[in-house]
């Protein structure tokens, strides 16, 4: 079951569905994740369950509705559907819940204590909208959404010898500048697809460098560029048909692609076939290199390999010359600059806008309207609410592809601001209505920053090739940093940072993570005061401030859990008092950090 999105089905049936799907795919598609195949099988069951969800199964008790009014068309559409189908919706989130949630989702950081106190005291009607504007104006917002895009594009210095630290840093600066300038998103994507020039002097060429398959035929690089473009910008995974026709293989997975052939994919890849990447050696061994990107005036996708003895990982191709045809509309280029033509076609395609808003929706609501967000089936749209998806898409296009306006729209919605606690009568199929917010474990970077913020012990980090000292994990340009600090690297690895190569980021929990949090010096040392910690932190500040026991408890719970303490919190915390006082406060800080409430965004 994914995010509660799919109904539960018996494990035996799940296994049979998975086996059936794998058999029908012919076992020829190792790049298509097996877990995603199972998700697609579950989605088929979800469609059946939703169709059978009749009035006889609906909740007939009182409907709990948020006290606030609808804020925008997201609310109008979602709550109308809930009312129509008698779906009980969760109540409004509290101010403390909202501030912690929105701070994490917009900046990757938990609220500072002073900010939280001020927000909780504020009685003005528009304070939630005001805090969204304040957060979006912060440098932390730019840092967070820069890393959001970097994680999508996966340009890392560890990608063979082809990008390196200079290329990585150039790409980071480019993406961050575009986020800071609030550049229209379609223009950014066009620049990435059609980039030319020196990959160490300019950021955009590194998007193409990240796709080079160094020991394989050049056709494999074009094919990799094609799948990266369709999945990142259109939400459609096309790697299956780079190896085999879709017919009799992809029907259970993707009906649209089941009607496409390898030749169709090669015609799509032909858009990249005039790309010339001159690799310039940077050392005497010709090991580290940079790229100079340009476009040839002639050429096409040749099914005949230059070196037949090195066929690459895909099955043999046919021996024809293929010219570009856009897979999703049949459009052909009208000029010889094929990459620029592709960039225009992709960003003019409504699916580009649809996929972009769906990716954003998955960020704010934990599951896409089409989910997984990178697995659109254009012949069988599985949107939980197609009316809403199309309304968001239209708004995004009409706004001039304003990514930040769409972020604001989703964050301001009443639907985003409801509680994660389900209303009475909750059933898993109700997740399709987004009738409650879903909790998620903090990402590795969010969790590291949350620990340092909560304990008041921010770490100094240094990135190779950058002069400034960093204070947040969201400022790190790729998973190889901070390469000078193995303890931070280890923390981020254990909590699912991934490497942007073979290990994708994840927020799954594990016993190793729990043991690490309870025992490792990286966390435990930050809970002590001056006697045991080499530097200032929150416990040390509380000891020197003369705060009473209750004041110290309140300060730490506000800092760690982002809410006011309950009387039960006070009772349990005071009952654990011991001497010296520093150790008692350290015990409390350790205990609060090890609450599930801390490591989840509710």
In degrees, rounded to 5, the angle at the alpha carbon of residue 567 between the alpha carbons of residues 563 and 570 is 85
Cα separation of 584 and 452, whole Å? 20
Helix axes 350-365, 218-234, angle to 10 degrees: 70
Task: Match 């191709």 to its residue by tokens.
Answer: 317
Mean pLDDT across the stretch 152-177? 97
The reply to whether 465 and 565 lie within a common domain is: yes
Mean pLDDT to the nearest integer, 539-558? 96
Question: Is there a domain that residue 173 lies in?
Answer: no
Count of alpha carbons within 13 Å of 157, Cβ hemisphere only?
Answer: 20
Q: 18 with 34: CB under 8 angstroms?
A: yes
Query: Residue 427 in 3-state DSSP?
Result: coil
228, 335: one domain: yes
517: number of Cβ within 10 Å:
21
455 assigned to some structural domain: yes
Which residues are within 8 A (CB) of 508 and not within 5 positions of it... i.e. 6 or more apart?
A: 441, 496
**Residue 155 in domain:** no
pLDDT score at 531: 59
pLDDT of 575: 97
The answer to whether residues 299 and 203 belong to one domain is: yes
DSSP letter string, 135-159: HHTSHHHHHHHHHHHHHHHT--TTS
* Rg of the chain, C-alpha, whole Å: 26
What's the pTM? Answer: 0.90
**Residues 198, 289 within the same domain:** yes
**521 has pLDDT over 80:** yes
Q: Mark whether 328 and 201 lie in a shared domain.
A: yes
Query: Shortest CA distance to 313 belongs to which of 29, 544, 1, 10?
Result: 29
For residues 436 and 97, the answer to whether their CB atoms sit within 8 Å is no
- Structure-block tokens of residue 282: 């940077």
What is the span of the domain harbouring residue 373?
Answer: 57-92+349-435
Q: What is the DSSP letter of 527?
A: G
Residues 270 and 408 in one domain: no
581-598 mean pLDDT: 96
Mean pLDDT of 159-185: 97
Between helix 549-561 and helix 113-121 the angle, nearest 10°, is 90
- Band (pLDDT 50/70/90 cuts) for residue 533 is low
Query: Final residue of a domain: which of 368, 402, 435?
Result: 435
Which of 308, 323, 347 delimits the end of a domain? 347
In degrees, rounded to 5, the angle at the alpha carbon of residue 427 between the alpha carbons of residues 423 and 432 is 95
How far is 519 from 504, CA to CA, in rounded Å? Answer: 26
Give the chain's domain count.
5
pLDDT at 326 over 90: yes
Q: Which residue has the tokens 């948020």?
A: 66
Instruction: Quickly state the pLDDT bin for 431 (edges 50, 70, 90).
Output: confident
Asked if 563 and 518 sit in the same domain, the reply is yes
Note whether 209 and 192 are within 8 A (CB): no
Does one domain contain both 446 and 310? no
Which of the four pLDDT bands, split at 50, 70 and 90, describes residue 201? very high
Quote the pLDDT of residue 199.
98
Whether residue 154 is contained in a domain is answered as no
175 found inside a domain: no
Cβ atoms of 3 and 431 within 8 Å: the answer is: yes
Regarding whether 354 and 341 lie in a shared domain, the answer is no
Tokens 């390999």 appear where? 305
* Mean of per-residue pLDDT scores for the chain: 89
- Asked whether residue 26 carries a pLDDT value surpassing 50, the answer given is no
**Does residue 267 contact residue 255 with C-beta atoms inside 8 Å?**
no
Local structure of 590: helix, strand or coil: helix
If asked whether residues 210 and 323 sit together in one domain, one would say yes
Dist. CA 385–CA 74, nearest whole Å:
10
Specify if 383 maps to a domain. Answer: yes
Query: Do the domain assignments include residue 5?
Result: yes
Among 296, 319, 347, residue at a domain's last position: 347
pLDDT band of 426, cuts 50, 70, 90? confident
**286 within a domain of the structure (yes/no):** yes
Element (H, E) at 416: none
* One domain for residues 371 and 411: yes
Pair 283, 191 in one domain: yes
Q: Which residues pair with 397 in a beta bridge?
A: none
Give the mean pLDDT of 235-258.
Answer: 94
């Amino acid at each position: 079951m994914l995010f509660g999105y799919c109904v539960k089905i018996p494990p035996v049936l799940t296994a049979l569905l998975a086996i059936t799907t794998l058999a029908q795919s012919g076992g020829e598609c190792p790049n298509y994740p097996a877990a995603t195949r199972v998700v697609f099988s579950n989605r088929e069951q979800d469609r059946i369950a939703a169709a059978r969800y009749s009035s006889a199964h609906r909740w007939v008790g009182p409907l709990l509705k948020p006290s606030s009014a609808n804020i925008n068309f997201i609310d109008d559409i979602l709550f109308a559907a809930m009312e129509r189908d008698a779906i009980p919706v969760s109540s409004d989130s509290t101010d403390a819940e909202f501030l912690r949630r929105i701070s994490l989702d917009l900046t990757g950081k938990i609220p500072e204590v002073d900010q939280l106190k001020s927000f909780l005291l504020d009685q003005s009607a528009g304070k939630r909208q005001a805090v969204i504007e304040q957060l979006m104006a912060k440098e932390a917002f730019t840092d967070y959404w820069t890393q959001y895009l970097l994680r999508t594009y996966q340009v890392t210095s560890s990608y063979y010898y082809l990008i390196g630290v200079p290329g990585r840093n150039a790409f980071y600066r480019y993406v961050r500048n575009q986020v800071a300038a609030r550049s229209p998103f379609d223009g950014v994507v066009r620049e990435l697809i059609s980039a030319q020039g020196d990959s160490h002097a300019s950021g955009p060429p590194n998007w193409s460098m990240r796709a080079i398959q160094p020991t394989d035929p050049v056709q494999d690089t074009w094919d990799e560029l094609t799948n990266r473009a369709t999945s990142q910008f259109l939400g459609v995974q096309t790697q299956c048909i780079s190896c085999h026709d879709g017919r009799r293989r992809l029907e259970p997975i993707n009906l649209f692609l089941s009607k496409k052939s390898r030749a169709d994919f090669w015609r799509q890849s032909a858009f990249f076939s005039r790309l010339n990447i001159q690799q310039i050696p940077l050392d005497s061994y010709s090991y580290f290199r940079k790229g100079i990107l340009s476009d040839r005036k002639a050429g096409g996708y040749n099914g005949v390999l230059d070196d037949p003895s090195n066929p690459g990982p895909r099955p043999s191709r046919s021996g024809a010359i293929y010219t570009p045809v856009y897979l999703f509309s049949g459009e052909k280029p009208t000029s010889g600059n094929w990459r620029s033509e592709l960039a225009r076609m992709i960003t003019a395609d409504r699916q580009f806008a649809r996929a972009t808003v769906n990716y954003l929706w998955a960020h704010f609501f934990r599951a896409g309207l089409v989910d997984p967000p990178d697995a659109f089936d254009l012949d069988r749209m599985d949107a939980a609410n197609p009316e809403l998806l199309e309304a968001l898409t239209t708004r995004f296009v009409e706004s001039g592809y304003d990514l930040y306006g769409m972020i604001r729209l989703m964050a301001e919605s009443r639907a985003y601001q409801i509680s994660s606690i389900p209303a009475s009568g909750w059933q898993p199929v109700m997740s399709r209505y987004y009738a409650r917010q879903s909790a998620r474990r903090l990402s590795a970077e969010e969790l590291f920053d949350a620990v340092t913020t909560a304990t008041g012990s921010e770490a100094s980090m240094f990135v190779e090739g950058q002069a400034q000292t960093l204070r947040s994990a969201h400022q790190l340009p790729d998973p190889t940093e901070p390469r000078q600090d193995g303890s931070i690297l280890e923390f981020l690895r254990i909590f699912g940072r991934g490497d942007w190569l073979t290990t994708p980021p994840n927020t799954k929990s594990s016993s190793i993570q729990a043991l690490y949090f309870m025992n490792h010096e990286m966390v435990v040392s930050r809970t002590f005061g001056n006697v045991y910690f080499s530097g200032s932190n929150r416990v040390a500040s509380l000891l020197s401030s003369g705060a009473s026991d209750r004041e110290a408890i309140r300060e730490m719970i506000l800092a760690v859990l982002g809410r006011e303490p309950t009387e039960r919190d006070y009772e349990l915390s005071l009952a654990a008092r011991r001497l010296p006082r520093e150790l008692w406060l350290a015990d409390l800080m350790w205990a609060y950090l090890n609450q599930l409430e801390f490591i989840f965004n509710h």
